[in-house]
Structure 1
Amino acid sequence: MKPDSPLLKILACPLDKGPLILDELRGALYNPRLRRRYPIVDGVPQLLPSSGEPAVADEPAAR
């Protein structure tokens, strides 16, 4: 997934329905409000609530 993908404008967190941020370094979509990361596998975002992983507290937030 690329940062300028129009898909990023419509994707939302499955838990709080808010926007997600592309974390290119980790290959994931990041929700800064809940500090959860959703992996992107073979270009497909895994947006099931069970596929979200908690972000480690000392990691810098993705931008």
Structure 2
Amino acid sequence: MSTPTSWKKSSFSGGGEGNDCVEIADLDTHIAVRDSKAPAGATLTFPVAAFASFVQGLKETRSTKPE
């Protein structure tokens, strides 16, 4: 598997330096995820379909959550 070269930080990264979140990178067949506070640390990878299902589940949970 290749090494990510272009990371994207979530738009929900918190205040200040914006380092309270995760970053993702597209590796064609997988999505890489890392902690934005420790970019040199471990990286998790997920198949694209599994990551897409995970994100969809988050969106559905967020839309049904009472305010």
The normalised TM-score by structure 2 is 0.39
The normalised TM-score by structure 1 is 0.40
